[in-house]
Structure 1
Amino acid sequence: MTSPFRMDQSWDFPVPPGELWNVLSRTQDYRTWFSWLRSIDASDGLAQGATARCVIGPPVPYLLRVTIRVVALVPGRTIATEVDGDLRGPARLEIEEVEAGSRARLVWALTVSRPVLQVAARLARPLMQRGHDWCVDTGVAQFRRKAIAPEPRGT
């Protein structure tokens, strides 16, 4: 088995935690926010026990199919999930109030499970890491621009 792809990163957003949570709860909008999200079925929404099935298309020559199950949820504060499929492992999002609005911390340790991806993770780890980092960086930028952007002001 290959070592996990780990992440522990935080970002600040200029909205209060309740508003950030409300935006994150709009799972039906995820596909329009994230260009790398090829498909998503999150009909259960953001709730305890909810499951989302996703196809992720990083800028590398493969697609990832995952199922994400919410295992613990404190509305407005935390979401703990278990990821299964081409990637496996725990992931969680923590939200806290900061002076400028909210801080979102995303933590995960995900291993690849498909044999061809395990080989790729051993032989081309830097390429896979770049794909991972691109999805995260692009996703945060797109979320800021498309989901959190301030409403246009009237004149």
Structure 2
Amino acid sequence: MYNLKTIWRLDAPRQPIWDALIAADQWPLWWRYVSNVELLQSGEAGSLSSRRRFTWTSRLPYRLCFDVRVRALAEHNWIEADVSGDLKGTGKWLLSDFEDSTLVTYIWTVSTEKAWMKVLAPVLAPVFIWNHNQVMNEGAKGLASYLGVALLAFEQSRNLPQN
């Protein structure tokens, strides 16, 4: 099980960041490694009834495909989702004010479901975490560019202890 935390600091208010995050169908426009987002169950962007299938590429030669179902949210503050498919677990976006900027924290608590990843995880976990960091860094840079704002900081993921 991976319990990863990434922090982006963007020179923007919460509203445009929130709008970009809940418009997941648009992520391929600005997030380099999101190759496809397919609507599985309709609902307003970021609504509790929405479910989408994400296909991701990465710096490493493999793809991940998983479904994301929004299970809870507090508008402009946080959104939490269940993940199933090649990865299984939860993801949570948290937005908070920091001086004149916004901190975007992402907590990704997942296990790998692909057989080869499970077998190799004891040895390759650091490589998988490195790859996750590369994907998240591209997301931070892409979102900043998409919004026309500065990326002020990027704190790489680390595997946190399980609670």
Q: Shorter-chain TM-score: what band? A: 0.7 to 0.9
Give the whole-Å Cα distance in 2 for the aligned partners of 1:27 and 1:124: 29
Q: Partners of 1:132 and 1:98 in 2: how far apart?
A: 25
- Contact (CA 8 Å) 1:11, 1:104: kept in 2 or not? yes
SS of 2:128's equivalent in the other structure is helix
TM-score by length of 2: 0.81
- Deviation at 1:9? 2.5
Shift of 1:19: 2.5
Q: Does structure 2 conserve the Cα–Cα contact (< 8 Å) formed by 1:65 and 1:86?
A: yes
Question: Which one-letter code corresponds to 1:116 in the other structure?
Answer: W
Which residue is equivalent to 1:38? 35
Distance 1:117 1:63 in 2: 12
Distance (whole Å) between structure 2 residues aligned to residue 128 and residue 112 of structure 1: 10
Is 1:20 the counterpart of 2:17? The answer is yes
1:67, distance to aligned residue in structure 2 (A): 0.5
Matches within 5 A, 1:31-70: 31-42=28-39, 44=43, 45-70=45-70
Identical-residue share of aligned pairs (%) = 18
Distance 1:26 1:90 in 2: 18
**CA distance 1:103–1:48, shift in 2 (3 Å):** same
Q: Does structure 2 conserve the Cα–Cα contact (< 8 Å) formed by 1:12 and 1:100? A: no
Separation (CA, whole Å) in 1 of partners of 2:142 and 2:26? 12
Number of corresponding residues: 146
Deviation string 1:27-80 (CA, Å, 9 cap, x unpaired) is: 232111112111111464211131110111112121111111100011111101
Partner of 2:158: none
- Unaligned 5+ segments in structure 1 are 151-155
Indicate whether 1:9 and 2:6 are aligned.
Answer: yes
- 2:132 — aligned with what? 132
- Superposed counterparts of 1:42-121, under 5 Å: 42=39, 44=43, 45-121=45-121
Report the Cα offset of residue 103 of structure 1: 1.3
Q: Which runs of 5+ in 2 are unaligned?
A: 150-163
Deviation at 1:110, TM superposition (A): 1.0
Larger RCO (CA within 8 A; separation ≥ 6): 2
In structure 2, C-alpha distance between the alignment counterparts of 1:133 and 1:10, rounded to whole Å: 11
Note the aligned Cα RMSD (angstroms): 1.7
Aligned to 1:149: 148
Q: How many angstroms apart in 2 are the aligned matches of 1:102 and 1:130?
A: 24
SS in 2 for 1:124: helix
The match for 1:153 is none
- Cα distance in 1 for partners of 2:3, 2:14 equals 25
SS of equivalent to 2:76: coil
